[in-house]
Structure 1
Amino acid sequence: MKMDGETITLKRNLTEWRFSQYPKYILLPIDENHDQVKSNIKNVVFSEVTPRPLQRNIRLVCASEDALKNILDMDPDIVNREEFTEFVAGKKLPYGALPVAHRYGGHQYGSWVGQLGDGRAHILGEYVNRRGERWQIQLKGSGQTPYARVHDGRAVLRSVIREMVACEACHSLGIPTIRAAGIVVSDEAVIRDIYYNGNPRRERAAVLLRLAPSWFRFGSLEILSKSGELTVLRQLVDFIIKEYFPDIQLTDENRVIRLFSEIAHRTLDLVAKWQGLGFTHGLLNTDNMSLLGLTLDYGPFGFVDSYDAGYVANCSDGEGRYALGKQPDVVVWNVGQLAIALKPLLTLSQQVHMSHILKTLDTYCKNKILETFLMKIGLKEERWGDEQLVEKLLDMMQRTGADFTSTFRQLAEVDSKQLLDKTVLEGKWSLNKLQEVSQWSVWVQKYRDRLNAENVSEEQRCARMVKVNPVYVPRNWILQEAIADAEKNDFDKVRLLLKIFRNPFEVNEEAEILGYSAQPPSWSYGLKLSCSS
């Protein structure tokens, strides 16, 4: 096969494909008393544990061709082999596998909850691909681990479909994220109370094949710091620096400060990306915050439809702690908890330095979000009054119920000189709503003046905007339709979504027929999501 002018050989079976002989994580403390569910484990980063594979009538739901080819060096036809399905189900582990579950803790809804860990996920091993990238391969829903607590170790079909599509869509949307390579489902039944209202139901167990350079998260360091395991904490911090932050020298006495600063700014860059695409993480706890600045553990996420800064994706979040408009502040708070976890490794002067960094994060985050929104309206240079220009647009969108994704895309498709032409706007179902407010004409004039001040031509404006404003995002109703079909063993729509979200910035004929860029159906506004998965 030829890719980018280079002839490469993709692996056609699991005999040819194998893990790296020595995963880097074997250098860290691993609890070898595996296959035991424990309430508390000390002085380890991982526990060795064998997956419990799905057994009954296993079938492949979908696979990401991009992840298979460009991360795992697998020929896409490998999905037609039974051994691939068995691999994702946890039945067939390739050569070199060393299955472990990761130990971590976390703050959930603002409170420390102690030890958590991978209760139903197994890191199988590491794979170094043809580009020299090292990826950790993980199964989610592959059985209990020592961190399962009272959980059965399984994941259900609806939740893994949501995560699979979201991972691959976010990657294409330019959001740093973990990746997903495939899903299998079985006839094994599990019981879930979806809305925690005393109405449990039977669902089918499924497994998701996930990929990430690392699964370390804020909670990976928090659990060690909170438990006083400072030797292991320092060991893990130095490991993370060496393996994932090569620009920081282990001989640098300020390496922990530099690490913190890098993680903090990557994380705030990430939340700015989320804000710019209307993405709302439904469970923004510190155990779900990647140390590499990746979107992790999607859970009850949502892309906002009608713009509302108070939009809450997770119906379990009764107080709206993780509402769309609050996410930047929550992320800054989470970064503060990371700082506390690292504090025992710092001298007094370094602690003062860290406090100075913390004081700058609010401003940094606001500036990154403003920069993101200026790009969405075709501007590059930040000038006085830009913040008010963006805020006024969002305010009008919230007051009129204009759709977040479609408003920005349609703004890119209409000549700025025609933004007050009612006939033109009638063909743009979301942008048209902004005419309902009297301030629309004032805003349009200010927008035109701002474009002129930067000397932005219509061609430049539109070209910039269509690159950052997608036609499609994985809206809840779109996912729900695919899930409903999949629960009847019709996986065509799930596979179609993966195809569409390879290029979410381009109009797709099949997506248009299905109405994916049209006004969401009325029933979709009542959809609820919870942590049940």
Structure 2
Amino acid sequence: MHSSDGSRAIAWQEGFGRLGSAFLTHLQPTPLPNAQWVARSPEVASLAGLPDGFLYTDAALQAFTGNTVLPGSQPYASVYSGHQFGVWAGQLGDGRAIHLGETAAGWELQLKGAGRTPYSRGGDGRAVLRSSIREFLCSEAMHALGIPTTRALCLTASDGPVYREEAETAAVVTRAAPSFVRFGHFEHFAARDMHHELRQLADYVIDRYYPACRNGWQSGSASTGNAYAALLYEVGQRTAQMVAHWQAVGFCHGVMNTDNMSILGLTIDYGPFQFLDAFDPSHICNHSDHQGRYAFNKQPQVAYWNLFCLGQALLPLIEDEDITVQALEAYRPTFSHAFRRLMCHKLGLPSAADSHEAAVTPVIGQLLDILAASRVDHTIFWRRLSLSAQDNDYERARELFLDTAAFDRWLLTYQELSAQTGKAPDAHAMLSTNPAFVLRNHVGELAIRAAQAGDFSMVQSLQQVLSQPFVDHPAHSAWADFPPDWASSIAISCSS
């Protein structure tokens, strides 16, 4: 393996890699034959501080497939542990992710699918094209929707086979984030009573990403100078905001294990995710989730449970159970407020002030109930409601319901609430909040089928459309339409 030419202008800085051998293992990616580009994000390249035009060179293609190592990069895989489906799984780690390092612009780059690591647990360390396409597209789509997320720099494919149920095309996604530290990193050292390393990790995260936590945290009428309690509180606040966005847009993560929870409150690890088609609060998108632990309506509570696990891991540093509980409990009101605020935006109403909260909450609840009762398409309803508000004609939204009388009753309540604000629903704000396009399973599946046949054009077109989800794209209106009957048979599991 040799260094790639033409990339010497990439500047790196010390980041997570400086923590040492207890946290990671340095290693080299495993090359793949005949690499080719599938998709690229110039926006992420600019954010990460890559040299202009580098993403369009063969040097980049080879480096981001794992065939060469960029000058100055010191690749590694990190170790962590975690709870999977509510059960302690012990040591896990980057089983198919290899970090290239942190650029001088403050973005960590990571290859997913670049070969075995010491934490592969018997796996091949590879990723298949179908799941890699989904991750690349959804990472960028979520960002365009305004949802906290890791990003995707590029996606490459190789004709080297990967064996799952059958031989499949190998692929590598280059992911980008300010940090890939997970709740599970803290659990790993706490479970092993490695309190020195636990403190080292927490200090690194605080100093690098949460420096204000050094000033402590205000808890009710009392204040504490406990930086680690402040860290737990801040992570809870970010997590609450993230999950509120998921619930508002109808996003199902599918595998909210503690090792898939970002310490920065970013959506991370796009495995068996799905945007809701028919609104079903109990929808389970992960076909490996036989108990329904990660059903859509359970996501807010699962996030709290995961934060509780993080709180347990940080307790040796916080050293005060009462303060730990207070930091954790702040998640609940923050989530409720954030969700209510986002729903007000979707309805074109002013954000609910305390004085209006009692009136807004039942309007939201009633709407969710009638959406579920008629199994109304989630994305299409909200877009049609926005257009209805623009035209002051709600028939296009009404016709989506089996029980139109229930919709009429709700509409009257909605209009009365709007009248109390002194103006009609803000249709412009609604059209800027309720997307026309999300990455529906069946649309992603069509792009995957084309890509597996060697045609990457639909992946690239989808990338462009999803980067502007609030804009009508007439040439691609079918991607915003109701899913076909066969879409319900698409199975997405943890093995994808």
**TM-score, scaled relative to structure 2:** 0.93
Shift of 1:50: 1.1
Counterparts of residues 110-189 of structure 1 (less than 5 Å): 110-129=86-105, 134-189=106-161
Deviation (angstroms), 1:65: 2.3
Residue 50 of structure 1 corresponds to 28
Query: Can you list the C-alpha shifts for 1:9-44, whole angstroms capped at 9, x where unaligned?
Result: xxxx84343241x422243122xxxxxxxxxxxxx1
Q: Which residue of 1 aligns with 2:464?
A: 499
Aligned residue number for residue 376 of structure 1: 346
**3-state SS, counterpart of residue 335 of structure 1:** helix
Name stretches of at least 5 consecutive residues in structure 2 with no aligned partner.
217-223
Shift, 1:79, TM fit: 4.1
Q: Is residue 17–residue 76 contact of structure 2 (8 Å, CA) maintained in 1? A: no
Check conservation: 1:19, 1:95, Cα contact below 8 A.
Answer: no
Partner of 2:443: 478
Aligned position for 1:34: none
Superposed CA deviations along residues 255-290 of structure 1, whole A, max 9, x for unmatched, are: 001111000110011000101110000100000000
Are the counterparts in 1 of residues 359 and 417 from structure 2 also a CA contact under 8 Å?
Answer: no
CA distance in 2, matches of 1:381, 1:170: 22
Corresponding residue for 1:195? Answer: none
Shift of 1:418: 4.5
Q: Is 1:395 aligned to 2:369, yes or no?
A: yes
Does residue 288 of structure 1 match 2:260? yes
Code of the residue aligned with 1:94 in structure 2: it is L
Select 1:201's aligned residue among 150, 159, 166.
166
Secondary structure at the counterpart of residue 375 of structure 1: helix
The structural deviation recorded for 1:435 is 6.0
**1:522 paired residue number:** 485
Q: Once the 2 structures are TM-superposed, how far is the Cα of residue 72 of structure 1 from its aligned partner?
A: 3.3
Q: Secondary structure at the match of 1:326?
A: helix
Q: CA deviation at 1:438?
A: 1.9
2:214 counterpart of 1:223: no
Q: Is the CA contact (8 Å cut-off) linking 2:7 and 2:70 kept in structure 1? A: yes
| Among 379, 382, 402, the residue aligned to 1:405 | 379
When the two chains are superposed, the root-mean-square deviation of aligned CA atoms in Å is: 1.8
Residues 128 and 431 of structure 1, relative CA distance in 2, 3 Å threshold: farther
Amino acid at match of 1:181: L
Contact 1:242 1:250 (C-alpha < 8 Å) held by counterparts = no
The alpha carbon displacement at 1:127 in A equals 0.7
1:260 is matched with: 232
Query: 1:392 and 1:300, CA in 2 relative to 1: closer, same or farther beyond 3 A?
Result: same
Q: CA deviation at 1:332?
A: 0.6
- Once the two structures are TM-superposed, the CA of residue 431 in structure 1 deviates from its matched residue by 4.7
Q: Deviations over 1:190-209 (max 9, x none)?
A: 111xxxxxxx2111111111
Unaligned runs of 5+ in 1: 1-12, 31-43, 193-199
Candidates 14, 17, 28, aligned match of 1:23 = 14
Q: Equivalent residue for 1:82?
A: 58
CA distance in 1, matches of 2:215, 2:388: 53
Q: Secondary structure at the match of 2:141?
A: helix
Deviation at 1:253, TM superposition (A): 4.4
- What secondary structure, in the 3-state scheme, does the structure 1 residue paired with 2:459 have? helix
Secondary structure of the residue that 1:414 maps to in structure 2? Answer: helix
- How many Å separate the matches in 1 of 2:26 and 2:365? 50
2:220 corresponds to which residue?
none
Q: 2:40 aligns with which of 55, 60, 63?
A: 63
Specify the alignment match of 1:106 in structure 2.
82
Cα distance, 1:346 vs. partner? 2.2
**Is the 8 Å Cα contact of residues 77 and 98 (structure 2) preserved in structure 1?**
yes
Q: Secondary structure of 1:114's match?
A: strand
Paired letter, 2:488: Y
The change in CA–CA distance for 1:99 and 1:417 in structure 2 (over 3 A counts) is: closer
The alpha-carbon deviation at position 299 of structure 1 amounts to 0.4
Work out which of the residue numbers 254, 258, 283 in structure 2 matches 1:311.
Answer: 283
Amino acid at match of 1:505: F
* Distance (Å, rounded) in 1 between the aligned partners of 2:329 and 2:55: 50
Q: Aligned equivalents of 1:336 and 1:54: distance in 2? A: 41
Partner of 1:10: none
Matched, 1:335 2:312: no
CA distance in 2, matches of 1:517, 1:248: 43
Contact 1:416 1:448 in 2 (8 A): no
Q: Which residue of 1 aligns with 2:495?
A: 532
Q: How does 1:426-505 map to 2 (within 5 A)?
A: 428=396, 431-434=398-401, 436-458=403-425, 461-505=426-470
State, as a whole percentage, how many aligned pairs show the same letter. 35
Ranges of 4+ aligned residues in structure 1 off by more than 4 Å:
250-253, 416-420
Distance 1:79 1:135 in 2: 16
